Amino acid sequence: MAVLTREEIDRFWQDGVLTVPDAVSPGTLAAFKRDFDAWVEESRAQTGPYGECIDGRPRFDLQPGHTPEQPALRRVQAPTEVSRAYYEAMAESRMAQMVADLIGPDVKLHHTKINSKLPGAATEVKWHQDFCFTPHSNSDVITALLMVDDVTEENGPLEVAPGSHRGDLFPIWHDGVFTGAIDDDTAARMQKDAVRCLGPAGSVCLMHTRLAHGSAPNRSLDPRTLFICVYSAGDAMPLTPNPVPTSHQGLFVAGEDKGVIRSEPYEVLRPQYPKTSFFAQQSASERAAG
């Protein structure tokens, strides 16, 4: 049974983005916060990226400037591997059903992560389109950003350029450097008309993989934690190695594997595989500019 209305589905395809409340239960939200708070506590004793994912890279990434007094845990890679609450929300929630309403009936997981902006941390996300990091044989790929905290004007909300998923793919390589970011002029143009995706904790922002987006640092005293699940249609095949590899990649959360590959024509520069996380890659744009 559909969770999204016809009007919501049409709005998603028109704008490339749709925010819906109550994607998970209050109990799940409480469990998310408990697990995340425990990771933040653990991070206080660390001085650099730590832990291990299935490819040997660190699971937990820290913003430069992190201290025990002011922790700046900015990324948890593949949290579904170390938390039951995050796993169940990825596999069985209304969020997964909503994605099936948009690109189903067959939907599988690509990867999961938590992006966190703790108060006082300078974490920002430069403008980009996810498809340039994770090209697939077709673009029925959705990034679902679940709000673990209330997302407000002040705490570094996701900002998007509505309709941009129907336009060009903008390079994230510049002068031979993989910056992971759209060029400054284009980004400034997008920023001018950007729409902020706000909502109470438990809302999900469903974003088309080609939609251009970014987000500013948290200027408030409240945290901004997003649990991000990237799903694709069952017949969309990843064309490059998963930058956030997980043992859960390929799990069908709706429908089944029909053994079909569907492709659409497009061209994109092959992304660079990250050494730690996406945030470190994007800081290359500062080095390139300087």
Ligand X SMILES: O=C(O)CCC(=O)C(=O)O
Q: How far is the CB of 26 from ligand X (least distance, A)?
A: 23
| Residue list 210-249, contact with ligand X (CB under 6 A) | 213, 215, 226, 228
Residues shown for the chain: 290
| Residue list 133-162, contact with ligand X (CB under 6 A) | 143, 158
Q: How far is the CB of 77 from ligand X (least distance, A)?
A: 12
**Binding-residue total with ligand X (CB under 6 A):** 9
Q: How far is the CB of 210 from ligand X (least distance, A)?
A: 12
Q: How far is the CB of 5 from ligand X (least distance, A)?
A: 25
**What is the x/- site pattern for ligand X, positions 175-214, by CB under 6 A?**
--------------------------------------x-
**Residue 55 token pair:** 């490819």
**What is the x/- site pattern for ligand X, positions 111-130, by CB under 6 A?**
----x---------x----x
Query: Does 17 interact with ligand X (rule: CB under 6 A)?
Result: no
> Footprint of ligand X on this chain (CB under 6 A)?
115, 125, 130, 143, 158, 213, 215, 226, 228
